[in-house]
Amino acid sequence: MSLKRVLSLRTVVSTSAGLTFSTACFVAAAQVASYLAGDAAWLAILVAGVLTLLTAAVFSELNGMFPSAAGLRLYLSKAFGEKFSQVVSLLYMLVITLVVGTETYVLGHVLNYAIPAISPLIWVVVMLVVATAMNLRGVNIAGAFQDFFTYGLVASLVIFAVVAFGRTGIHLQAPLATNGLGGLFNAVAVGVFLFVGFEWVTPLAEEVTQGNVIPRGMFLAVGLLTVVYALFTMAMTATVPGALRQTLLASPTPHLVFGEAVLGRTGVWWMTLTSLAASVTTFNAGLITISRFMYASAREAVLPKWFSQVNVRFATPQNAIISLFFVGLAVSAAVFFSGRYLTLVLMGSAMESIIYAVGAWAVLTLRRRLPDQERPFRAAGGNLLPAAAVIVFGVLALGVMLQNLWVPVLLGLAALACYLYVLYAVPRLKALQAAERDAARQARAARRRPVSTEAAAAADAPTD
Amino acid sequence: MATAEELKASLMDFEENYNANPKLKTMNRDWNRKVRVKATDVEVEYGLDLKDGVVRFLEQPPAEPDLVVASDGETLTSMFYGEVSPSEPYMDGTLKVTGSEEDLIRLDFVTAMIWG
């Protein structure tokens, strides 16, 4: 038997890489560079990329064991139980919502840089309205469109970096100066943000026919991202004049400062269009993933039933999408008035490191609990690789939290809120759903179609 | 354990409820899909043909489906009678779906709209 539609390796790579691209990544890349003394950002990005490959191996093993669109939610449930899985999934989605809010804020500044007459706040509202409308209408960038956006972005960033080096020549200053181990550590910890979401490709596991396409796609995507980000960041910091470098590193729109320095207004528009393409994939993937997560959670009675309301015309979870619009607007406004966009970028980095560490821990747990389960992909090196991933990403998460104390405070409060919600609210929602189901089941029992007596007898007969 | 007959009855009940729901006709007006329903314990397979907002039960499963829904007979029967949502067995790994994520979520929307 064969399915009508299957995804190719090319599309799996473009989806995995495309999910990580965002305008906030340019801020993170500049932040990486700011921790290092010279033009050594490539080194930190390379290390972050190699470490992310550990995670690609971890998620490949989990995906092979449970090839399901439920992804992380299912892996954690199998390894640690329902409650833990619910708390971590809710927390992860909450942080991703904050990152989407940050993305809107940064994109608002990008558009304001290109068209100064319109305030960033207006752009924020416009972008959120457009993203919400797209999601309500069920527009989903996938397949060939995803290929176009991702490979177009890769080409744009590589070509621009080459143009920048072509104009100034390659004059790297201290390309190995890491500002000590502390500087490199901090840069790598933030560098993890550049790869946020590459593993979200695992829900496509049911759309491929060969089991190894997803793992291969993830490895290739991480490799591609490492090269592209390293090249672009190096060009960004090495080709701008010294005085402008500090402005660039402290700006919410570093790539526009870079674009202007290299090609003037043409560079600004080049980077603005690149940003828009990067944000489109973030809004698309982020909002669709979160709204569907909310919908599925409501169907499981983890969130109130209201969130499972479906739009009949466009077949989309309308209440979940509209709620996200207001949450996104609130986050963007909070970031706009507080100016703390870096805090949310760091929260995203810390959360991603936590997810990577927990995923690796799940691999270790499942190897012990389900030793005979089929594993089409097994992370090499026995337990050494997942154990190393737990330690490395655990330490990186701590490192990010120490850079900005708001990060552990906000993450801690969010985790506590999710835990209390799962402990007290979810059982009530489940009880309510069970009561409704019982009543409906009794009503339907009478409606169940009678089956032939021979078939019923055969089913009831004892087997040898 | 549900029998093949019970699974068939649940699919026919699903067909009846689906076709009686005008909202589903609107929502799925251009969602034309062939679904293979596979009971892993009683080793029986049926099909559903969704076309122009109308569903038709198929005694013979489609050779080239868009979506394959596989689980034990009891889970499938309960699901097509609306006693459980597909999300629940799906999330705990009991229900396996092969096909597009878009189609999977649409199938869940359908059951949500029939049974709430």
**Angle between helix A41-65 and helix A384-403 axes, rounded to 10 deg:** 130
Q: Which of B4, B88, B113 has its CB closest to that of A455?
A: B4
Give how far B31 is from chain A: nearest CA, Å: 10
Enclosing domain of residue A396: 9-370+383-441
Which chain B residues have a beta carbon less than 8 Å from that of A296?
A: 87, 91, 108
Residue B58 has phi, psi (to 5 degrees) of -120, 120
Looking at per-residue pLDDT, the higher value among B49 and A457 belongs to B49
Considering only CB atoms, which chain A residues are within 8 Å of B36? Answer: 1
Q: Extract the tokens encoding A234.
A: 């190096």
Task: List CB contacts (< 8 A) between B16 and chain A.
Answer: none
Q: Mutate which of B30, B98, B103 to test chain A, going by most A C-beta atoms within 10 A?
A: B98
Q: Please state, in angstroms and rounded to a whole number, the distance separating the CA atoms of residues A234 and A240.
A: 10
Kindly state the percentage of chain B with pLDDT values over 90: 41
User: Is residue A461 exposed (0-12), middle (13-18) or buried (19+ Cβ within 10 Å)?
Assistant: exposed
Domain total for chain A? Answer: 1
Token pair listed for A409: 């405070």
Can you give the residue ranges of every domain in chain B? 4-109
Cα–Cα distance for residue pair A168/A77, rounded to 1 Å: 53
Mutate to test the interface with A, among B71, B100, B104, B110 (most CBs of A within 10 A): B100
What are φ and ψ of residue A21, in 5° steps?
A: -65, 130
Contacts of A449 in chain B (CB under 8 A): 9-10, 12-13
Interface contact A368, partner B, CB < 8 A: no
Residue B115: its chain A contacts at CB < 8 A? 440
Q: What is the CATH number of the domain that holds A220?
A: 1.20.1740.10
- Total CB pairs under 8 A between chain A and B: 120
Please list every residue in chain B whose beta carbon sits closer than 8 Å to the beta carbon of residue A70.
90-91, 93
Q: Say if the Cβ atoms of B101 and A207 lie within 8 Å.
A: yes
Domain assignment present for A149: yes
Q: Does B93 touch chain A (CB under 8 A)?
A: yes
* Residue A136 in domain: yes
Task: Please give the pLDDT value at position A447.
Answer: 63
Residues near A254 by beta carbon (within 8 Å), at least 6 away in sequence: A26, A27, A29, A30, A236, A248
Q: Which residues of B touch A455 (CB under 8 A)?
A: 3-6
Distance CA A282, CA B10 (A): 40
Neighbouring CB atoms inside 10 A of A452's CB total 11
A315 chain-B contacts, CB cut-off 8 A: 27-28, 31, 106, 109
Q: What's the CATH number of domain B4-109, 3.30.1050.10, 3.90.1150.10, 3.10.310.10, 3.90.550.10? A: 3.30.1050.10
pLDDT in 10s for each residue of chain A, 464 residues: 444 455 788 888 888 888 888 898 999 999 888 887 668 888 999 999 999 988 888 988 998 888 766 778 889 999 999 999 999 999 998 888 888 888 888 899 999 999 999 998 898 888 889 888 888 887 766 667 778 888 999 999 999 999 999 987 777 777 777 767 788 888 898 888 888 888 877 766 666 656 678 888 888 999 999 999 999 999 988 888 777 888 888 888 999 999 999 999 999 999 999 999 888 877 777 777 788 888 888 888 899 999 989 888 888 889 999 998 999 889 888 888 888 888 988 898 899 899 999 999 999 999 999 998 888 888 888 899 999 999 999 998 998 898 899 999 999 999 999 999 999 999 999 999 888 878 877 776 766 666 555 544 554 444 44
| Residue whose structure tokens are 């309960």 | B78
Q: Report the pLDDT value the prediction gives residue A449, as an integer from 0 to 100.
A: 60
Q: CA torsion, points A99, A100, A106, A111, in degrees to nearest 10?
A: 170
Among B60, B88, B109, most A C-beta atoms within 10 A, so best to mutate, is: B109
Distance CA B70, CA B98 (A): 8
Best CA proximity match to A220, nearest among A358, A375, A49, A75: A49
Distance from CA of A15 to the nearest CA of B (A): 14
Q: Compute the distance between CA of residue A452 and CA of residue A133 in angstroms, rounded to an integer.
A: 51
Interface contact B29, partner A, CB < 8 A: no
Inter-chain touch B2–A459, beta carbons under 8 Å: yes
Cross-chain CB nearest to B9 (options A77, A140, A448): A448
In this complex, is the C-beta atom of A207 within 8 Å of any C-beta atom belonging to chain B? yes
Interatomic CA distance for residues A5 and A230, integer angstroms: 35
Q: Predicted confidence band at B96 (pLDDT cuts at 50, 70, 90)? A: confident
Is residue A4 domain-resident? no
- Interface contact A455-B85, CB threshold 8 A: no
pLDDT score for A459: 47
Distance from CA of B86 to the nearest CA of A (A): 9
A175, with CB counted inside 10 A (0-12, 13-18, 19+), is: middle
Q: CB count, 10 Å around CB of A410?
A: 19
How close B99 comes to chain A (CA, Å)? 5
Contact B5 A203 (CB under 8 A): no
Instruction: Name which of A1, A204, A438 to mutate to probe chain B: the one with the most chain B Cβ atoms within 10 A of its Cβ.
Output: A1
Q: Which residue has the higher pLDDT, B88 or A148?
A: A148
Give the whole-angstrom CA distance, residue A162 versus residue A159: 5
Contact A188, A395 (CB under 8 A): no
| Residues from chain A contacting residue B87 (CB–CB below 8 Å) | 296, 299-300
User: How confident is the model at residue B16, as a pLDDT?
Assistant: 92
Please state the ipTM of this predicted complex: 0.82
- Strands B67-71, B33-39: pairing is parallel
CB atoms within 10 A of CB B22: 10
